[in-house]
Chain A
Amino acid sequence: MISSRGRKIFVAIAGAAVTIVALLCIFPFWMVVIGSLTPENEIYVRGYSLWPQTFSTEAYKLAFEDPGKILRSYLVTVGITGAGTAVSLFIVSMCGYVLQRPDFKSRNFFTMFVFFTVLFNGGLVPWYILMTNYLHLKDNYLALILPMMVNVFYLIIMKNFMRSIPGALIESAKIDGAGEFYIFLRIVLPLAKPALASIGMFIALNYWNDWRNGMLFMQDETMYPLQYYLYRLLSSLDFLKSAAASTIDLGDQVFPSESFKLAMTVVATGPIILLYPFVQKYFVKGITIGAVKG
């Protein structure tokens, strides 16, 4: 029974290795949560550790005393994610559907026309000048929504997925006198739900995690999206202090900047992590739909 013993050893090693990788993946999350719960003076003396000597919720108290600013950037991010994902999903799926219709003769030309932008682009600078000098989108929420509205790879995945919808269905609807847009809305979209869910998730995640467009186009602090807000908190102490409640009297205590930073990280990341178990399914599906076949 050599092979079965060998198999046992192998499974044990594989299990251990996978466990270690999984733990490594969670480890930083753990460190940040623990760090945010460590009293500031302990951080100053001992640094961040796996387990603090005492716990303190002071950093969170400071964060929630006057949560207006972080709530505001939450609102900005939720808004642009919602609006951006909805519009993007709609126009991309509509275009993807048409581009695989066999009777649409320009399909190859349009596909190449769109795909060429993946191969070649003008670079950051001309695009930036277009956005700011010609379209005047500085300090405009559209500057956070438009840049990620059309992703060519999602369009192509969508187009490939739409091929699985039987053409006979569309034909018979046409014979019944339904218009093209009506067919798309009432027949194609419901059948494309799996792809819509998965690709929608990817689009939403891109919007949610974007900070670059905030940095490029937003000067008004009240319009910062969440991730850029967090970036500013982490990189500038003055910004960090201004984010904390001014009403709390710290006395002669130092400002708890270290634990406060981490508490804000937790506040900014927490909800998406809580949402995560529910969307993981679509995520995995999305990867396998679009995998390799980009």
Chain B
Amino acid sequence: MRWLQNLRYDIRKNPALLLMTLPVIMYVVVFCYLPMSGIVLAFKQFDYSEGIFGSPWCGFKNFRFFFISGQAAVVMRNTVLYNIAFIIVNNIVEITVAIFISEIGGKWFKKTTQGAMFLPTFISWVVVSAFVYNIFSYDFGAFNHLLRSIGGEPVDIYSQSTLWVFIIIFLNSWKHVGYGSVVYLAAIMGIDAEIYESATLDGAGELQKIRYITLPCLKPTVVILVIMGIGNIFRGDFDLFYQMVGTNSLLFNTTDVIDTFVFRSLLFSQEYGMSAAVGLFQSVLCFAFLTATNWVIRRVDPENSLY
């Protein structure tokens, strides 16, 4: 028990330091480790008056319910596919924007455009949902206004579940472009300028320089970000999906993710047992994926492994 020895040492020699970590440690114990014991709920028939530990056991019934209902396949598929789409689209957009920004001159121009791209990062998804309503509302939206004015038929976008796939992917990219491009821009700024200079002397064009210098230099950053994205592939962005879709069940088929499903089952139908089961299932998957991806990062680039 090495850690126990260390702890004993610190209790004797560094009591003040130990005390200083206490707020965070206590917090983690209460709000992260205590709820872990609550995962037994996934195997119980929750009875409000009996509490978590007094409720009767029910085996795998909660899990069976989730899988048989047919929703398991849908929400898992959506969660994974959206995350894959986010990884691909966001990285392409962010890298392109970062390269472009690094190439153009004019401090004022750079600052203004970057400032504009950061605005979406600052607002909540609630505000974004107001934006979406403003543009896509059936009766008053600017989009349908435009369609009508050119003689087209208005579209009720809030009942078109396939369209939302694109809207959501677009908005996610829209909200993160400022943030992500700064990450890549920082990596580009770290590339030795002499490499570009000698390439120019050798007669390399702009696209060649990007293809043979910038992109290869960005590779480590891309690899890390992609692997981290894969580690979180079973985690749905609750804020995004809940604000865009909410309780509009017409769209659930293509937009419901694990996190929104759990939230609704808990808050609206009070299915404690089942939503706990789904939550546990998701946690286990996340754990497996994060551990696996971290193992990969350690081999690719130990500097950037999470632990």
**Chain A interface residues toward B at CB < 8 A:** 2-3, 6-7, 10-11, 14-15, 17-19, 21-26, 28-29, 31-32, 35, 43-44, 46-50, 91-92, 94-95, 97-99, 101, 103-106, 109-110, 112-115, 117-130, 133, 146-147, 149-150, 155, 179-181, 184, 205, 208-212, 215-216, 227-228, 230-231, 234-235, 258, 261-262, 265, 268-269, 272-273, 276-277, 280, 283-284, 287-288, 291-294
Contact = CB atoms under 8 A, between A and B. Distances in A.
B307 interface: yes
Interface of B: 3, 6-7, 9-10, 13-14, 16-21, 23-25, 27-28, 30-39, 41, 51-52, 93, 96-97, 99-101, 103-105, 109, 112-131, 133-135, 137, 139-142, 144-145, 148, 174, 177-179, 182-183, 186, 200, 203-207, 221, 224-225, 228, 238-239, 242-243, 246, 259, 262-263, 266-267, 272, 275-276, 278-280, 282-284, 286-287, 290-291, 303-304, 306-307
A14 B106 CA distance: 13
B117 A22 contact: yes
Contacts of A258: 140
Contact of B16 (A155, A181, A234): A181
B127 A25 contact: no
A18 B98 CA distance: 9
- Interface-centre pick from A7, A124, A262, A276 (highest chain B CB count, 10 A): A124
Tell me if B's interface is mostly helix, strand, loop or mixed: helix
Contacts of A234: 126, 129-130, 133
Given A14-B100, A28-B131, A113 B266 contact: no
Nearest to A130: B35
18 contacts: A15-B104, A21-B93, A23-B116, A25-B174, A47-B144, A94-B20, A98-B18, A104-B14, A121-B32, A121-B283, A122-B279, A208-B124, A209-B124, A215-B267, A228-B126, A265-B127, A273-B119, A287-B186
B145 to A, nearest CB: 3
A101 B279 CA distance: 36
Contacts of B228: 294
Contacts of B38: 122, 125-127, 129-130
Given A119-B290, A227-B124, A25 B178 contact: yes
